[in-house]
């Protein structure tokens, strides 16, 4: 029964995370920004290292783009703090226990710890980004904090996926295909660390495949038991 509750929680919060992710694109501020906010701008803001990279995000387009991009980024980051971080963290915690069959095994414990550490890094990153948009003229003092939060978040989420992959390969119930998908974030984060401008989308794609794999697996098990 305990295992089933973690399976249902994984499915519910995985679906909720997808819904919130879609909601980012529907925010009025994002709609108003329009083409001023190109694809990939959000993760590039998270990983920006200097004023030049910020200028490429906030200074592109005509003179009206800057304020609209700032408003869009602030709206995204406020929703991130209020809903997305709690949702995907709960999903990650439940997923670790779901893949462990509801048991507190060493791999599920370290996976849960990594998920909580990633959430802390994300809160640091996101609160700092909200400050940076108010100090774009001199952001250097804050960029170190936003990068520390962002990279610790991504690294710890990759570690969480790696530990969950271990549960898939070594647990009582083997899930080798899902395990292979959960290895992808490690390579994705390494690619983004090598070149975050060109390869950040590779990292995002790796996390998407891994998390969708977990979501699909939990959905299959929930609905299989309902059908039975």
**What is the dihedral sign for C-alpha 16, 22, 25, 28?**
negative
Question: CA-to-CA distance for 63 and 61, rounded, in angstroms?
Answer: 7
Question: What tokens appear for 100 in the block?
Answer: 């462990």
What is residue 43's predicted lDDT score, i.e. its pLDDT? 95
Average pLDDT, the chain: 93
Structure confidence at residue 225 as a pLDDT band (50, 70, 90): low
* 46: enclosing H helix or E strand: helix 41-46
Name the pLDDT band for 224 (thresholds 50, 70, 90).
Answer: confident
The pLDDT of residue 227: 59
CB atoms within 10 A of CB 184: 21
Q: Residue 127's Cα: distance from chain center in Å?
A: 15
32 token code pair: 């108003």
Question: Region 8-37: what's the mean pLDDT?
Answer: 95
Summarize the confidence of residues 144-154 as an average pLDDT. Answer: 97
Q: Is the pLDDT of residue 98 over 80?
A: yes
Residues in the chain, overall count: 228
Residues 105 and 201: their CA atoms lie apart, in Å, by 33
CA 192 and chain centroid, separation: 14
- Cα distance between residue 24 and residue 27, in whole Å: 6
- pLDDT at res. 35: 87
Residue 139 has phi, psi (to 5 degrees) of: -90, -5
Q: pTM for the full model?
A: 0.94
pLDDT tens digit sequence for 59-94: 765 677 889 999 999 999 999 999 999 999 999 999
């Amino acid at each position: 029964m305990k295992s089933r509750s973690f399976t249902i929680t994984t499915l519910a919060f995985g679906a909720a995370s997808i819904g919130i992710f879609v909601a980012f694109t529907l925010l009025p501020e994002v709609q108003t920004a329009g083409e001023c906010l190109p694809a990939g701008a959000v993760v590039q803001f998270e990983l920006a290292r200097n004023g030049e990279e910020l200028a490429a995000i906030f200074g592109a387009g005509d003179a009206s783009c800057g304020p609209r991009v700032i408003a869009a980024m602030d709206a995204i980051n406020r929703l991130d703090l209020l809903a997305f971080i709690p949702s995907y963290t709960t999903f990650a915690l439940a997923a670790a226990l779901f893949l462990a069959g509801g048991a507190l095994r060493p791999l599920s414990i370290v996976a849960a710890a990594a998920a909580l550490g990633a959430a802390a890094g994300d809160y640091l990153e996101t609160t700092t980004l909200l400050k940076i948009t108010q100090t774009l003229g001199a952001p250097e003092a804050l960029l170190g904090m936003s990068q520390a939060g962002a990279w610790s978040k991504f690294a710890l989420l990759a570690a969480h996926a790696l530990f969950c992959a271990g549960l898939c390969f070594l647990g009582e119930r083997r899930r080798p295909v899902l395990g292979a998908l959960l290895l992808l974030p490690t390579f994705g984060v390494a690619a983004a660390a090598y070149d975050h401008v060109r390869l950040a989308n590779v990292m995002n794609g790796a996390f998407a495949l891994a998390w969708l794999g977990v979501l699909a697996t939990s959905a299959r098990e929930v609905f299989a038991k309902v059908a039975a």
